[in-house]
A and B are shown apart, each in its own frame.
Chain A
Amino acid sequence: MASKFGFAGGIPERKVRPIWDAIDSRQFKNALKHVTTLLAKHPNSPYVLALKALVLERMGKIDDASAVSLTAKENLFSNDLLSMDDLTLSTLQIVFQRLDRLDLATECYEHACGKFPNKMELMMGLFNCYVREYSFVKQQQTAIKMYKLAGEEKYLLWSVCSIHLQVLCGNGGDKLLVLAEGLLKKHVASHSLHEPEALMVYISILEQQAKFGDALEILSGKLGSLLTINVDKLRMQGRLLALAGDYTAAADIFHKILESCPDDWEGFLHYLGCLLEDGSIWCDEAVNDPVHPPKFVSCKVSHLTDEQFDSRISIASAFIRKLQTDTVDNSVRGPYLATIEIERRRHLRGKGNDNNLMDGIVQYFCRFGHLGCFTSDVEMFFEVFTTDKKAELSEKLMKINDTLSTPPTKTLGLSISLFKIKQQLLLGDMFNSSANDVEVSCVQMFEMYCKNIPLSKDLDPQESMHGEELLSITSNILVQLFWRTKNVGYLVEAVMVLEFGLSIRRYVSQYKILLLHLYCHFGALSVAHEWYKSLDVKNILMESMLHHILPQMLVSPLWTELNSLLKDYLKFMDDHFRESADLTFLAYHHKNYSKIIEFVQFKDRLQRSSQYLVTRVETPILQLKQNADNIEDEEGILQSMKCGVDFLELSNEIGSKSLTFNEDLESRPWWTPTVEKNYLLGPFQGISYCPKEILTKERETSLKREIEKKSLLPRMIYLSIQSASLSIKEHVEVNGSVKPDITLELKLLLERFSQFLGFSLSEAIEVVKGSFSNGERSVVSDSNLIDWLNFTVFLNAWNLSSRELVHPDRNEGRPIIWNILDSLLERYILENVRSMEPQLCSPCSKVQLLMQLVTEPLAWHGLVIQSCLRSCLPSSKKKKKSGSAYQSSSNLAHAITESVQQLSLVLEGVIKQISESNRRPEDENSDGILSLLRKDEHNDGPGRVFHVLETFISSMSNAEVGDRIYHSLKSWSPADVARKMMTGKLKVLTAFSAICESKLKLLQSLKQQIAQV
């Protein structure tokens, strides 16, 4: 069998080379020409056919490629053994993978391996196929065969890893681990092990079975020397000893680690845990989400006696003191923070005293308070204190700060740490003080920033400036003042502070994130989006950072921008899902076995990402919104998504999935700790009201419901369109073939949908008939209004083809549900238009709701109308014959006419309102914004910080702040910022207005059609 390159299927290399060359240089047409010539000579060669399929696929001719590749496969199977070479197979594999038919590639390799059971090359290909399909059992079987054949350690480990995968990521039971262990043991006995990663796998297989002693024995034996990074080996030993309950020996190991690396904080925590015989740090490891590990070390109350406890603690203290004196490098913080942790443990034991703990923190402050990381280092210790004690500590820190004499950059660092402590950790305190006091400290911080700009004048613009954080803190406090006073001037002031900072150095991502959220709050979403883009969030960062902008964009009219956000993100995720297995195979290939499980688990994690699932549902919904003004286009879109069937599946499955949350919520501003919360929209409750901990379980439950509900929409829209046209045909074709399955399915979905509203279908229908009230009480609120209206739209559509609801008013005007729907749409849209304040700094939530009303229920209803009209109006071709359908269904005709009329008026109202707010000249508006910051005589309210800012800009000198900063500040203007804010807001309204106009145009064309009947 000729399997060397160039003789695949007996075809000489020089004939094939030009094809590959052309493919590699993307000259597909040329490649196709070569292939066609070659195919004339070898019409049945699977290899040449596979090449042709590859070229066709690359040209985008998917169907042709499919057909050709299937022929290739058939020929491969029916042919003699000649063509069963690796090159043919791997070429086919590439084609099938690109066509998303991994199963067919696997079949080819399975077939080939059946014919040549001992060919390693083919088995390798087959193993690779199973890796791509995540078929762990078959992987295992294939690898074992390879191991038996070649006797290599590598194949044994492939097989062991495949077993481990079954246990961790498949549904294999723990018993399989015994099998894996046995395989390894036998191999070690006869051949030993040669790769460090092989040893790591062996250890983890043992650890998983709680065979800690065995694992330790192996590590300390000859095999242990495979681990070349000594500290890695020690950590492994320490962990195994602790898990085995041998805390004394474990403590010794961690002692060693600390001696060689006194700064290893985790090493210290492990050391202390072992001394105190507390293994909770290892138990937590197993329970916690690795992406959101806890900030605090949890610890159990120790079972040691008091004497034991004291003596262990003094051992630890003595050791740490020794580390402190032995370490010459004065940037090593570990041993100093350790002192505080030891004090905390005492405290938890009930033996501590607040003063000692405070002293520890104060000393740490003296040493490291100037560092940016000071606050995050010590924040975990504050939990221990009561509010009073926190205030006392803050006093102490301030006092000591006054006594420290340090160079200016350090002094600045210390002050920032103090402010941060006050702001982040002792927030409650801040709200006991008067708004005025808070404002005073705000001004102080800002002044401090300005005063210290000269320190940074010679820094490279790439480098962080001294005191950068002061501006984030200042603006955070200004936002708190807004929440407290509802004076929107504070928000504007916060924006100014941050924009000012970014004009000095444009790379500060912290400022950008805060600004982005502030602009969102103003409804200047396009500006927010610009700032988001400037963060250059791409690849995996999208998974952790998209949440900053996506939720707001989903309810905005900036469809183009939204579309590209969704597309980029989905492309990234889908690319990863496609490539991931190949990279896993790379890890197999390079014998880095520990990465195999890591990769598979990571892919699984991303596949269950809450954000990914939301995006998968929102993307088709956006498409449907964008095309709703043209029923033919909409139907095209629906066809391309299999009429919504796939999404129904998602809806059915989602309940049993467990979602992962991968957002970096730490990066969110304090006032909106999760996507769902925004404290600024509610009344001021005191900052202690803002809980930091995130209730993931609750988020998961509500998100799953949301996805389950939303993924019904595409199908319901599809069925509604069908149902509407059916109703007309019924009128026309007496005894015609009514398709009850459409009506029935829609009814089932309505039943499901009504559950999300909290009612049964019949109850929900009653609520609709009562115009959204249940008896006296109204059941709708801003949060479920869209759902109720969507429901009513679908209900109406269903009602058109079903006869279940009796029409008492059958011949008197419009069908009742239709009638109600129109007036509900009118009522809610106009209500929200009226409350769209002319105030330009008003938050954008009303506009968002309005936008949703127009682009969802109104749009879907528009489709139902289009569908009805299309079925009853004579199409241009058969104009003469029919023409009667419209009249014959007179109720409906009436309904349509009225509806079109009424909705047109509503839309005109919206457009008018928007154009009124747009009409005011920008300058007038931006002046209005700036005037919020100008102080009156009483000196109350916002503007103090802004005043300092303006004074600074007008009085700074070139020599003081340096050329670069001087010029960028001179060309910066607050009026520009105000204008930007305004234009941003107007841009959103204009986009919304355009959407309304397009809908209005549709309605007008419908009117014309009706008039022509």
Chain B
Amino acid sequence: MTTIRRFCCNDLLRFTNVNLDHLTETFNMSFYMTYLARWPDYFHLAQGPGNHIMGYIMGKVEGQGESWHGHVTAVTVAPDYRRQQLAKKLMNLLEDISDNIDKAYFVDLFVRASNAPAIKMYEKLGYVIYRRVLRYYSGEEDGLDMRKALSRDVDKKSVIPLKRPVTPDELEYD
């Protein structure tokens, strides 16, 4: 039961039930505001009956040439609303915008190698592990760079997995 709309500043004061989750990072203000100021169409919120906040997705679009791509910075759903296809809906929305409006080649994201539920979900949604990023999270945990090709990448070149892992300083974008 979801109304999906653009995320706005006031929602930052209402998303505690979502952000108290230990896998959901609470970023600093300039981080959120930069996303809002630059990619407002990539930051959406799902709200349910009784004005309860159910979850949100935050992302951006960037890159040069054939690596022009959508990026999922965070997607999270409050525990009470999980396993109801909400994350899927939010991901599909971001993919649609990347594909149809911004004509990106692919969508990518980073996930903690230990976050099994999320990895399973991304796989279910058609993402493949493109490469492993060593010690991506605070120099400790590895991250997985997962990708899904969009319609513009006809040959699906963007998602051919790399053979070897990379280190964070080899990443093109942060």
Contact = CB atoms under 8 A, between A and B. Distances in A.
Interface in A530-576: 535-536, 538-541, 543-545, 572, 575-576
Contact of B16 (A265, A331, A545): A545
Contacts of A599: 9, 33, 36-37
B27 A539 contact: yes
A586 B29 contact: no
Contact of B1 (A337, A592, A601, A667): A337
Interface string A329-368: 1011110010000000000000000000000000000000
Interface string B80-95: 1110110000000000
Interface stretch (B48-56, B136-144, B148-156): B48-56
B16 A541 contact: yes
Contacts of B10: 290-291, 602, 605
A594 interface: yes
B87 to A, nearest CB: 12
Given A265-B1, A539-B29, A507 B22 contact: yes
A823 B12 CA distance: 51
A535 B49 contact: no
Given A295-B51, A377-B50, A464-B79, A595 B3 contact: no
Mostly, the A contact residues are helix
B13 interface: yes
Contacts of B97: 229
B79 A667 contact: no
A224 to B, nearest CB: 16
Contacts of A589: 37
Contacts of B34: 583, 586
Nearest to B50: A295
B98 to A, nearest CB: 12
Interface in B20-62: 20-23, 26-30, 32-34, 36-38, 40-41, 47-52, 54
A377 B30 contact: no
A371 interface: yes
A973 B100 CA distance: 57
Given A539-B29, A586-B34, A595 B49 contact: no
B1 A377 contact: yes
A464 B81 CA distance: 12
Nearest to B22: A507
A601 B10 CA distance: 9
A584 B34 CA distance: 9
Nearest to B115: A462
A263 B22 contact: no
Interface residues of B, number: 52
A264 B2 contact: yes
B117 A460 contact: yes
Interface string A791-826: 000000000000000000000000000000000000
A232 B34 CA distance: 22
Given A464-B79, A544-B16, A539 B28 contact: yes
Contact of A667 (B4, B17, B38, B101): B17
B23 A462 contact: yes
Nearest to A664: B16
Given A462-B117, A583-B33, A598 B49 contact: no
A337 B3 CA distance: 14
Contacts of A538: 26
A133 interface: no
B47 A373 contact: no
A265 B37 contact: no
Q: Which of B36, B101, B114 has the most CB of A within 10 A?
A: B36
Interface in A589-642: 589-590, 592, 594-595, 598-599, 601-602, 605
Nearest to B52: A376
A509 interface: yes
B84 to A, nearest CB: 5
A267 interface: yes
Given A371-B84, A538-B26, A590-B37, A509 B8 contact: no
B116 interface: yes
B73 interface: no
B81 A594 contact: no
A376 B50 CA distance: 7
Contacts of B114: 462
A153 B10 CA distance: 29
B14 interface: yes
Contact of A544 (B13, B21, B100, B115): B13
Contact of A586 (B21, B37, B52, B84): B37
Contacts of A598: 8-9, 36
Nearest to B9: A602
Contact of A263 (B1, B33, B36): B1
A462 B80 contact: no
B135 to A, nearest CB: 20
Nearest to B14: A291
Interface in A702-750: none
A579 interface: yes
Contacts of A295: 50-51
Contacts of B5: 232, 235
A173 interface: no
Contact of A595 (B27, B37, B115): B37
Contact of A373 (B19, B52, B85): B52
Given A373-B48, A373-B52, A594 B79 contact: no
Contacts of A544: 13-14, 16
A587 B37 contact: yes
A945 B18 CA distance: 30
Given A583-B33, A583-B37, A294 B1 contact: no
A106 to B, nearest CB: 22
B90 to A, nearest CB: 13
Contacts of A372: 79-82
Interface string A683-697: 000000000000000
B117 A664 contact: no
Nearest to A540: B12
20 contacts: A265-B2, A293-B51, A294-B51, A295-B51, A371-B84, A372-B80, A372-B82, A373-B81, A376-B49, A377-B48, A509-B21, A539-B29, A540-B32, A544-B14, A579-B29, A583-B29, A587-B37, A595-B36, A599-B36, A667-B17
User: Across chains A and B, which 5 residue pairs bring their CB atoms closest together, nearest first?
Assistant: A372-B80, A602-B9, A587-B37, A509-B20, A266-B3
Given A460-B116, A509-B20, A580-B29, 9 more contacts: A235-B5, A265-B2, A267-B3, A372-B79, A372-B82, A380-B50, A462-B114, A590-B38, A592-B40
